A = this chain, B = another copy of it.
Amino acid sequence: MRKGSLLPPRAGREDRFKEACGVVGIYGHPEAANLAYLGLYALQHRGQESAGIVSCNGEGLLVHRGMGLVADVFTEEVLRKMAGPSAIGHVRYSTSGASLLRNAQPFVVGYRGGGLALAHNGNLVNAHLLRRELEARGALFQSTMDTEVIVHLVASAPGPSLMDRLVQALARVKGSYSLVVLTERALLAARDPQGFRPLVLGKRGDAYVIASETCALDLIEAETIREVEPGEVLQVDHRGLTGFKAFKGPRRQCIFELIYFARPDSIIFGRNVYQTRKALGRELAREQPVDADMVIPLPDSGVPAAIGYAQESGIPFEMGMIRNHYVGRTFIEPEQSIRHFGVKVKLNPAKDFFRGKRVVVVDDSIVRGTTSRKILNMLRQAGAKEIHQRISSPPTVGPCFYGIDTPTREELIAFSYSVEQIRDFIGADSLGYLSVEGMRRAVKEEDREFCTACFTNEYPVEVPEERPVRQLALFQEM
């Protein structure tokens, strides 16, 4: 634990954890690419860097990938050309591999005379070791993604069927994966033995749908059947759905999906996300009570926890920080004197509303603390008399190696500083985190089925020591 007051860190660093990816797969619907598009639209919160769909028209694979949001990458014309009965899709925020079109997914290759496409949410902890081994055997790589390692393992595995080869390939990898595979003949899906990332199975009429979250099934108007089980491998083809539990392992689902990443209208890991977040807020109110005039959320991710806090505490809920809905990725910071509008363009306090008020501000986490500092400063300037920051999760003290983009341990404010130091840095009158136990209660954990490594530094899958922080690009597209 470091001593003394914190200096404001350098500006411009993202002060948020970033989700890795979302995947979707469809088999047996004449407009499979259109459904994949809708599914990705619903999963856009899981990755905004690139989007891609591969469909199959019965003869070959049709591919379209691009940098940017789903709605920008796809046009009506492209979707029309991709008509066919099966498709997979992917939205991405890079955790391994630079953010380049070349690294956009689904990854597609020619393989024994046909095409094979794979879309992957997760992160392998032994990818660099496997890659070195494959390169020594003469394998050529076209990207820096973990995903390509899986495909090489599939291609070089013996075995009569693709499913055999996929199982053999997955037996060699360690880490997290929720993935979908498409060939001219079948759709496959697999989830790692710990079940780090969510993956659900649904049906729309006769068509099978695989997706990261149920909100994608909702938009597709597919019925949710069940989770794909940790360690399970599925195949859908003209004979229907088959599959089996290929790998066993203790269930370790990512608790941060419930706290922040998943969409509140989804059900994942058997939990209703919206109600789980309200429960986190209620626990927080019990553990960290305070006398105040209003509870406000940081819109929009803190809303359910703030409602839970307000309902438990009886303090009125308000939405006094107004969000500008037109903030896009492309906001240009004017140069020179009038800088650092980062937070201000997104949020503005309702004028004259906070004057003289005691305010509880509920958020889901603090990463570097820079955003909280700015927002609390805005509230203070708007006249708030007291500001009580409440966080609906414990202090984040460890990075994620299983598919979330996090800063290094040293950059996590709660790893290096005490709660009191953080309170001072962000400028709150009081600061309260939810306890690990409170969090476990709120998510109704019964049997340690969650990965809480970022709060507890207990990593369920061992991370090789020599792991490179971030792999360099083999070559760089200009």
- Check B300 against A351 for contact (C-beta < 8 Å): no
- Check B266 against A351 for contact (C-beta < 8 Å): yes
- Check A352 against B218 for contact (C-beta < 8 Å): no
- Check B81 against A478 for contact (C-beta < 8 Å): yes
Chain B: which residue is nearest A336 at the CB level?
B31
Chain B: which residue is nearest A140 at the CB level?
B109
Q: Is A79 an interface residue (CB 8 A)?
A: yes
Q: Is A344 an interface residue (CB 8 A)?
A: yes
Q: Is A219 an interface residue (CB 8 A)?
A: yes
Residue of A44, A319, A478 with highest tally of chain B CB at under 10 A: A478
Of B78, B310, B335, the residue contacting A478 (CB under 8 A) is B78
Chain B: which residue is nearest A116 at the CB level?
B140
- Check B34 against A263 for contact (C-beta < 8 Å): no
Set of chain B residues within 8 Å of A61, measured between Cβ atoms: 474-476
A267 to B348 alpha-carbon distance, docked (Å): 12
Chain B: which residue is nearest A348 at the CB level?
B265
Interface string of A399-417 (1 = CB under 8 A from B): 0000000000000000000
Set of chain B residues within 8 Å of A303, measured between Cβ atoms: 319
- So how many copies of this chain end up in the complex? 4
- Check B54 against A263 for contact (C-beta < 8 Å): no
- Check A142 against B110 for contact (C-beta < 8 Å): yes
- Check B138 against A328 for contact (C-beta < 8 Å): no
The count of residues in chain A whose C-beta lies closer than 8 Å to any C-beta of chain B is 110
- Check B115 against A139 for contact (C-beta < 8 Å): no
A431 to B474 alpha-carbon distance, docked (Å): 57
- Check B71 against A326 for contact (C-beta < 8 Å): yes
Q: Is A426 an interface residue (CB 8 A)?
A: no
Secondary structure at the A interface, as helix, strand, loop or mixed, is mixed
A303 to B350 alpha-carbon distance, docked (Å): 13
Q: Is A62 an interface residue (CB 8 A)?
A: yes
Chain B: which residue is nearest A275 at the CB level?
B353
Chain B: which residue is nearest A213 at the CB level?
B351
- Check A140 against B117 for contact (C-beta < 8 Å): no
Q: Is A470 an interface residue (CB 8 A)?
A: no
Of B30, B156, B326, the residue contacting A70 (CB under 8 A) is B326
CB distance from A110 to the nearest CB of B (A): 3
- Check B307 against A348 for contact (C-beta < 8 Å): no
CB distance from A340 to the nearest CB of B (A): 11
A335 to B156 alpha-carbon distance, docked (Å): 40
Stretch among A35-43, A235-243, A282-290, A438-446 lining the B interface: A35-43
Q: Is A338 an interface residue (CB 8 A)?
A: yes
Q: Is A379 an interface residue (CB 8 A)?
A: no
- Check B332 against A79 for contact (C-beta < 8 Å): yes
- Check A274 against B353 for contact (C-beta < 8 Å): yes
CB distance from A151 to the nearest CB of B (A): 6
A293 to B476 alpha-carbon distance, docked (Å): 54
A141 to B108 alpha-carbon distance, docked (Å): 9
Q: Is A427 an interface residue (CB 8 A)?
A: no
Of B140, B265, B322, the residue contacting A110 (CB under 8 A) is B140
Q: Is A356 an interface residue (CB 8 A)?
A: no
A35 to B339 alpha-carbon distance, docked (Å): 11
Chain B: which residue is nearest A344 at the CB level?
B219
A54 to B477 alpha-carbon distance, docked (Å): 9
Chain B: which residue is nearest A476 at the CB level?
B62
- Check B139 against A142 for contact (C-beta < 8 Å): no
Set of chain B residues within 8 Å of A138, measured between Cβ atoms: 152, 155-157
- Check A322 against B76 for contact (C-beta < 8 Å): no
Of B71, B274, B332, the residue contacting A330 (CB under 8 A) is B71
20 intermolecular pairs with C-beta atoms under 8 Å apart: A31-B337, A41-B324, A42-B348, A61-B474, A62-B478, A64-B478, A69-B328, A79-B335, A108-B475, A109-B141, A111-B141, A138-B156, A139-B140, A140-B151, A142-B142, A218-B348, A218-B351, A221-B338, A275-B353, A307-B317
Q: Which residues of A contact B (CB under 8 A)?
A: 30-31, 34-35, 37-38, 41-42, 44-45, 48, 54, 60-64, 69-72, 74-76, 78-82, 108-115, 117, 132, 135-144, 151-152, 155-157, 214-215, 218-219, 221, 263-267, 272-275, 300, 303-304, 307, 310-311, 316-320, 322-328, 330-332, 334-338, 341, 344-345, 348-353, 472-478
Nearest first, the 3 A-B pairs at minimum CB distance are A34-B334, A110-B141, A138-B156
